[in-house]
Structure 1
Amino acid sequence: MKSNIKTLLVLFCIGTACTSRDQTSTLTNDFHGVIIADSKGIYINDDIFSPDQLYPKKKWQGDWIGLNKDQYDQHQETHTAWINNYKAGKSVRALFRKAFDVKELPPAAILCITADVSFRAYVNGYFICQGPANIGSDYDDHNPPEHWFFSTHDVKKYLQIGRNTIAVEVYTFDLALAETTSGKAKFICDLDVDLNRTLLYTDTSWKCHLDTCLTKINEDLIYNAMLEIPDWKSNHFKDDHWPLASLQDADKDGYLIQSQIPATIRHPLKAIETWQNFPQKEMNRHECSLFGQIFYDESCTFDFGRNMSAYYTISLMAQQGDTVKIYPREKSTVNRALVYICREGKNIFTTPQLNVFRYLTVQVASREGLKIDSLYALYSSYPTRYAGSFVCSDSFYTQLWDVIRWTTQMCMNTLYLDSPRHQEPIACTGDYLIESLSNYYAFGDPWLARQDLIKTARMLKKNGYDMFHTSYSVLWVQMLYNYFQYTGDNALIKELLPHINKLNDLFATYLDENYLLSQAPDYMFMDWIKIDKFNAHHPPAVIGMGYLTAFYYQSLILASNFNQMHGDADKSR
């Protein structure tokens, strides 16, 4: 997939003690290239990532830890849409800190980290990463995963001689529908200085704290800054009064797997237009800068020019109890609103939820006045290189290419998304198959599709090869074939072939005497249309078994070819 010249250059850099920046661009999940934002879009200028060159983490020194079991015994569980949904209590964050001294800066500092359900990590107050990469689960999937991804990050430039601090916030609830959980709130990390030496690792010497300032209601967030711990991520914070973390009994060997994709990029973007919303004429554009103004009971809108997948950061000066409501919108529908209750003085908040929006409408309620210092979007997606291009004499088709490329790009994160609005689980394979094909033409990336294919195989195995959308399970075989056509990755075919055969064996049990799939558990997903009075999303057998049998037939043909490639004459018949 890489040219021989590029491979030689990568090997040369690794073998000749090149700079930390050059090493980590190939040895960790970090993205270290250049992000370009221009009239074409937002993209990267290089393509140096290769899973073969990732830092080879083999042994974990650290253990899984969680909140202190004596002090926080009611907050040991996690909950997502389908696991522990009704057993867990209030949605909370678990905060972890560890201070340590560095006498001499090490030659490398690789942070290996993950958490359940998700996390954001900081070194000496600097944001490092958010994770983990999507684990992979089905729709309505009540079975915990049998693996968990971790990622590696170069943090050497954030270390200093003397005192240092790693701070991690762990979310014990899902921020998106695509997230899953083991059911236990837990966190693990090692800070490696080389393959055989770990400078710092998780154990019961870490400090922890239960944070209740963030609440999730449906898809919206409420953040009460009056309850937060000021500067808890900083190096000078005193955590003497925090209790010690407890060990969590959970697997490491065979369970922790390194993510084989680069971390998503983040690029700050300012609004291209702002206006105040007047009651007598809503959305009336008012040509003035909104930053630095005093707001009382009023609202304003920030227009970023186009829909984008992004986080956002707001900074403001407020009185205690002032309220700011932020409504992200693509057009008119609000996506994942935020209610922010201010503390006295400076407030800075970056939303942890990936969202999609063009507009951010900010509604302020303040008796004595509130000042917005800044508000900007943090565009985020899988790092994409604009490898393909298209120009036509008919400008409509050129514009159509640009729209499809941008839409596909927004739907590429740590998995292919059905949309950055819904963020459904990995099992929407029909959507991801199409998106991966668009990616091959536009961006030329093989790694995201590869990881999605592997995750889907693991999910199928865990659930007995029965997928919520029955047709999508055999479309997974088609997606794998398309990936093989693009990459020639025969090793992945060999790895996943046993899962293909078991999937087809299950479908054979759905056949009737006419070799039609009339006995399938369901016939989702066919189409969004209605056929007479029937919804083709989940049609009855009389409508659905025709197309599903055709999909299965195609899967059998592909499986036969794959088995023949790998010398299994019986399975190739």
Structure 2
Amino acid sequence: MNNIIAQKWQNRWLCSPEFHDAPQLALLHRQLDPNFKMPPHREELKNYHALFRKKVVLANAPKRALLRISADDYYKLYVNGQFVTQGPANSYAFCYYYNVVDLTPWLRQGNNQLAIHVYYQGLVNRAYNSGDQRQGLIAELFADGVQLLDEDWLCARAEEYSYSRTIAYDTQFDEIIDERRKLHGWKLLDYDDSDWCKAPVKENDDHILIPQPTPNVVTELRFPVQTSRTENGWLLDFGEELTGTFSMKAVGKAGNVLTLHFGEELESSSAVRYEMRCNCNYEDRWILADGENELEPFEYKCFRYVQILFSTAPESPDAPRLSEFKVNFRHYPFAEVPCAFQTDDPLVRGIWSICKNAVRNCSQEAFLDCPSREKGQYLGDLTVTAHALYCLTGDTKLFKKALLDFSHSTVICPGMMAVAPGNFMQEIADFSLLYPYQLLLYYRFTGDKEFLRDMLPYAQGISEYFDRFRREDGLIENVKTKWNLVDWPQNLRDNYDFDLPQPVVGDGCHNVINALYIGMKQCIEEICKILDLPCTPQSAALRQAFIRGFYNEATGLFTDSLVSSHSSLHANAFAAFYGLAPEGNQIADFIMRKGLCCGVFVSYFVLYALIRLGRPQDAYALITNHSEHSWYEMLQEGATTAYEAWGKDQKWNTSLCHAWASAPIPVLCDLAKLKMPSLR
């Protein structure tokens, strides 16, 4: 692929001995490929925590020391006992990210200890490119320009981590952490590693390494805003949803067991709802050794509350003594810029706050749809979350990386995958068709013509992929190779009148997929114009075909399909978003009668449709409306981050932290530019 530049390395890939002869499994495939069979995976390699150590002797403290490092699936790096960073961002093996870490502040003259915790999960999901039996690390250290590391590393398995089940969509394992099996002090220079083995070189390793174009996630400590003793332990409230790992200290006796419950809400005044509505069962166990123990979970969760349950009576002399409750809150670097608007309306401030918090929680090494159930980067969600992150921080690096990630997925399908990276294969036609719009959005933020030129072939590949479904009049039908989403969940499609089973759509020609198809053509034509490249215009003729097929002159609205008389919010919002409606249409009034009877993701297109129809005040009115389909409803239900749906019970497995609901941030910023009196 033309945007992948492999880097030359002096050192080779190292792995744990158990993985040395494990074959690398091929997992990439089309979602609906009937010939694909999942290859067998060795069970004993799943949830594998490995520790690697390397001593570095320096004649002098370096003026500049840079570490190039990557690991599969993920690493946490310590130098001389201190945590430094973690990574890399998830990626496919054929374009695997590595990090460049400045170790100058961490290294000293004399002996130094590099200690790396590498985790291989072994499940096929959206969170990792795992389940492929690729494990291990590679590292090179350049101190004042001289590469100091060889391939002579020591390794051991971290035996304290076990599990009883997987969580959500095989996103992660629960963590049963047994301090009695922990290798205490392994990060320190003076630790005795004489019984560790040498890490073998993975001779047939197939990672192609490329630099990660974004900084690693950062962490900040958060402490509970309220702690209370319960009949059987402690209940902690951190005041808002946080993505990260919970830690504490405990002085106890060997075999003491603490059960940990995490949740987004309470079951009662003294119990956390750890079997969460988003389909995550957040129950872990911590087994103590004699004396002082420090909890070190590896995997992150998304939660507000923590409950600690004792196996003995809390007041018993044998009960452990607990202290130093905290969360290592992790997220993409988030330096806020001054808000693009000011308002005296407390509702708007509340809406801004929950949307901002959702964006921060969901911006990790990638734009995650949610940091709990899926932990995956969805192409459609990117439209909203990347736009919101730019408005909040001015950052475009994570946006650029996401666009690259999805371009890489065209190795699997030229029509692009809906989730990337990750070894979970999912395809959604609507999301693929939004990619050219996202490229234009990125260009408008940056003016980066070179990147636009590099990515144009992938946008054109999407166009060519969907051209195969064209009818004689240019409209597309029977797009059965990818799911036609329209909106999610199903109950928020405003009775869209077309058969949309997952993943194979029903027969016929329907509105939304065509509005997105024509919008995609418009965006590619605009990109070609920006780049002064030849392009045969198609969108104007397609717009006329769309109007002939779907527009009802009597109502001034678009219908859901060529054979339906029903006009849904969705059939009209996407058409208005891309300027497909003729003069004299009644779409704006229709939207205001309907309100936001759509999913929170589609609200982005509804609100911008109103702006493009010349009704910005109505867009503001919808943002601040008090119906059950509103951000007001989220706030009334106690939200600290925007939800996956308008209310907790409006979807069967609602996540209470979902950045695809953050449309008010970019819309309010654009309304402020129009100098609306509500915003100043």
**3-state secondary structure, aligned to 2:320:** strand
Seq. identity, %: 20
Closer, same or farther: CA 93–363 of 1 in aligned 2, 3 Å: same
Residues 64 and 188 of structure 1 are in contact (CA less than 8 Å); yes or no, is this contact kept in structure 2?
yes
Partner of 1:410: 361
The residue aligned with 2:199 is 245
Structure showing the higher strand proportion among its residues:
1
Cα deviation, residue 325, structure 1: 1.7
The CA deviation string for residues 189-241 of structure 1, in whole angstroms up to 9 with x for no partner, is: 1111144x11224x1x2111123321342132221222221211111111121
Aligned match of 1:149: 97
Matched, 1:98 2:54: yes
Give per-residue Cα distances to partners, 1:47-101, cap 9 Å, x unaligned: xxxxxxxxx99542221001136xx768777999998674442422121111232
Q: How many residues align?
A: 484
| 1:568 alignment counterpart | 533
* Separation (CA, whole Å) in 2 of partners of 1:250 and 1:481: 40
Cα distance in 2 for residues equivalent to 1:512 and 1:534? 19
TM-fit CA distance, 1:486 = 1.6
Return the letter of the residue paired with 1:554.
G
Distance 1:229 1:66, change over 3 A: same
User: Residue 192 of structure 1 contacts residue 199 of structure 1 at CA under 8 Å; is this kept in 2?
Assistant: yes
The residue type paired with residue 514 of structure 2 is T
In 2, Cα distance between equivalents of 1:104 and 1:466: 50
Q: Per the alignment, do residues 403 and 174 of structure 1 end up closer, same or farther by CA in structure 2, a change over 3 Å counting? A: farther
Matches of 1:87 and 1:80 in 2, distance apart?
15
Once the two structures are overlaid, the 10-residue window that deviates more, 550-559 or 167-176, is 167-176
Q: Which amino acid aligns with 1:209?
A: A
**Aligned to 1:123, which of 79, 97, 108?**
79
Asked whether 1:169 is paired with 2:123, we answer no
Specify the alignment match of 1:437 in structure 2. 387
**Does residue 400 of structure 1 match 2:377?**
no
Query: How many angstroms apart in 2 are the aligned matches of 1:571 and 1:167?
Result: 57
CA–CA separation in structure 2 for the residues paired with 1:80 and 1:169 = 25
Stretch moving more, 448-457 or 163-172: 163-172
Distance 2:188 2:285 in 1: 25
Match of 1:61 in 2: 10
Q: Distance between the aligned counterparts of 1:454 and 1:431, measured in 2?
A: 15
| Matched residue SS, 2:94 | coil
Task: Tell me what 1:549 maps to.
Answer: 514
Query: Within the alignment, does 1:341 sit opposite 2:287 as a pair?
Result: yes
C-alpha contact 1:80 1:179 (8 A) present in aligned 2: no
DSSP 3-state at the match of 1:503: helix
After superposition, the Cα gap between the structure-2 partners of 1:262 and 1:563, relative to the gap in structure 1 and judged at 3 Å, is same
Aligned amino acid, residue 167 of structure 1? A
TM-score after normalising by structure 2: 0.66
CA deviation map 1:246-295 (0-9, x unaligned): 11135689x211111122221112111111223xxxxxxxxxxxxxxxxx
Residues 511, 535 of structure 1: CA spacing in aligned structure 2 closer, same or farther, 3 A cutoff?
Answer: closer
- 2:62·2:107 contact (CA, 8 Å) conserved in 1? no
**Equivalent position SS for 2:54:** strand
Q: 1:210 aligns with which of 157, 161, 165?
A: 157
Q: Is 2:380–2:431's contact at 8 Å kept on the other side of the alignment?
A: yes
Distance 2:358 2:119 in 1: 29
What amino acid does structure 2 have at the position aligned with 1:421? Answer: S
Decide whether the 8 Å contact of 2:256 with 2:320 is kept in 1. yes
TM-score, normalization by structure 1 = 0.78
- Residues of 1 paired with 2:58 and 2:332: CA distance? 34
Larger-gyration structure (1/2): 2
Partner of residue 235 from structure 1, selected from 189, 208, 229: 189
Change (3 A) 1:130 1:81: farther
How many Å separate the matches in 1 of 2:521 and 2:348? 37
Q: Where do 4+ consecutive residues of structure 1 move more than 4 Å?
A: 72-86, 250-253, 532-539, 570-573
State the match for 2:342 in structure 1: 391
Question: Which residue of 213, 221, 228 corresponds with 2:175?
Answer: 221
Partner of 1:317 in structure 2? 251
CA deviations 1:461-489 (Å, max 9, x no partner) are 34343421121111122111111112111
Aligned to 2:587: none
CA 184–474 in structure 1, closer or farther in 2 if over 3 Å, else same: same
Match of 2:129 in 1: 180
1:364 maps to which residue?
Answer: 310
- Residues 313 and 349 of structure 1 are in contact (CA less than 8 Å); yes or no, is this contact kept in structure 2? yes
Q: By how many angstroms is 1:538 displaced?
A: 5.5
Deviation at 1:318, TM superposition (A): 1.7
Per the alignment, residue 256 of structure 1 pairs with 209
Matches of 1:472 and 1:305, distance apart in 2: 34
Q: 1:324 offset after TM fit, Å?
A: 1.4
Aligned to 2:237: 303
Question: In structure 2, what is the equivalent of residue 9 of structure 1?
Answer: none
SS of residue paired to 2:228: strand
Which of 330, 335, 342 aligns to 1:380? It is: 330
Whole-Å Cα distance in 2 between the matches of residues 63 and 172 of structure 1?
18
How far off its partner does 1:373 sit?
A: 2.2
Report the AA paired with residue 511 of structure 2: G
Structure 1, unmatched stretches of 5+, are: 1-55, 136-143, 279-297
Could you tell me how far apart the structure 2 residues matched to 1:134 and 1:489 are? 25
In 2, Cα distance between equivalents of 1:80 and 1:410 = 29
How far 1:310 moved relative to its partner? 2.2
CA distance in 2, matches of 1:401, 1:452: 24
8 Å CA contact 2:250, 2:294 repeated in 1: yes
8 Å contact from structure 1 (residues 327, 361) kept in 2: yes
- Separation in structure 2 between the aligned mates of residue 474 and residue 320 of structure 1, nearest angstrom: 57
